[in-house]
Structure 1
């Protein structure tokens, strides 16, 4: 690990006065690992844990605010999350080991970087890590890489389970930086790689996440977070699907679907809401929804199986939500396919 300056300010004003090439440190479950393998090379590490950003509190509109420094474990166990947003608890419990969940924070979760093995290997070409060097994942071992939202410069898959649910819920992320406070929709927070895959979020220099606002919802038991994981990798999704349905008898009043594991960011297609509205659950409807979500998918040498697997997982998740049979927490189906 390279030498760096370290500080622990106790006010927001002091934090956002950070010099260039600084990184914020909260739980450290991602940043420290990347520094150890020389992927992250900050000149200044700023520990922000002295800030009071660890509250979970109701909002006047019936929603819920999650502090950026609240741990994933505390968030998943909070009574208001378990009662009003059980799908978020399911995603957090599916996202990592218990040890990591007790350290990792909500702000760190939404800002975590890809788990692409070429990104971690400093001997491999990676435009995300070293702009202009190429993408070593293309045309080689890439069975877990993205097939949606990719570009010629990057096919890395986005790793967070939490963010898939935030996109489905249409959560809002509250930011603060040298220019003041602003709010960003979770669906707009992560960038597509395009020609600049090293720019992963809309964060401006010096900005940090203060909190995440969840809107009031009424899915009841008509939800699911279905995650298919690789046999050899506990934490990462090969395909994941977050579904929330508002039902009026046997008719879908409103529905939302978001995908993880298959795209370069949490994948949400607004058109799907219109496809589900006012319809009764059926195989034809759910097949059409899956086809729309997968529209534009581009496979590479090793990840073609995802194109076949994902629509099946989407349809199964929709049926789970429609029948009020959410995937049990901690029960992660396994997918194994040779390279």
Structure 2
């Protein structure tokens, strides 16, 4: 009976509400825009269209249009076998028998990638695709089954391939070595499965190493990056990819304004190897580098402690064959200044096996020019 009383009270009340709403809309159609503000054009619109801010906004729109057919939505599926915890108890196993077949379950994941060739090569993160049994790539509501060409855990870079019937729109690659703090930074991806989300920020730091992760120096940005953005492009104001969005630093698991991207120059060397070998064959120089102190630099007549001090040369290594000696200070490689041992390591990691490097060393206060051919790390 109580249900009926509520029902009977509710129906007349609803009729009154409907009548009031109809009266409101009838009044609103024939009235001026009291509730919706001034209906005339904003007086500053024409002035704003002449400003730099409007030009930047227009540039953002153009960049999105440039990449809306390049950034892809990746969904993954992994088949896992799970034994019910009930059977972890030996008493239960004894009682119910040993025929406790594990349950088969599907584990799904989300990520982002971007097209790097017209014929369907796609770049993403290693952690997005690693161990997955099925990978689907969605490009503007078209689904493609992707296969893994290669994947590298150290740099967290993965390479996929799809077989499109038409030519695709690849990304434009920039030069991550020229990125500076304060530059515009644009991230496009699929955070939480929200397809083609466009966020804007700036470059917060370059060469970031003082965070606990593998894979060398990273670009730091405050452009919003969230779960699902992994593997997507970090883009500069010219519409060029300068990095691959990888991870965030967060105490809550959500965005806190600190995101990291793999520099695209690092990625290019890795992607070439993944395409060619399906794995990364890392080259090496064959030296142990020691820190050069201010006192050591002063004794050697150097203006500062920049350079990589060679403390050991491995026998039959590229360095040994190329003529590098213990005590040499490596100052330049391929016209790039070596300011620290880290600079040398980064440069060698970017080199391909078989590359010949022009190495400038300081030896006994004299400059020596050497050639060193990079070999695969044993």
Give the TM bin, normalised by the shorter chain.
under 0.3
- Larger RCO, structures 1/2 (Cα 8 Å, 6+ apart): 1
Give TM-score scaled by structure 1 length.
Answer: 0.26
Give TM-score scaled by structure 2 length.
Answer: 0.24
Structure with more of its chain in strand, by fraction: 2
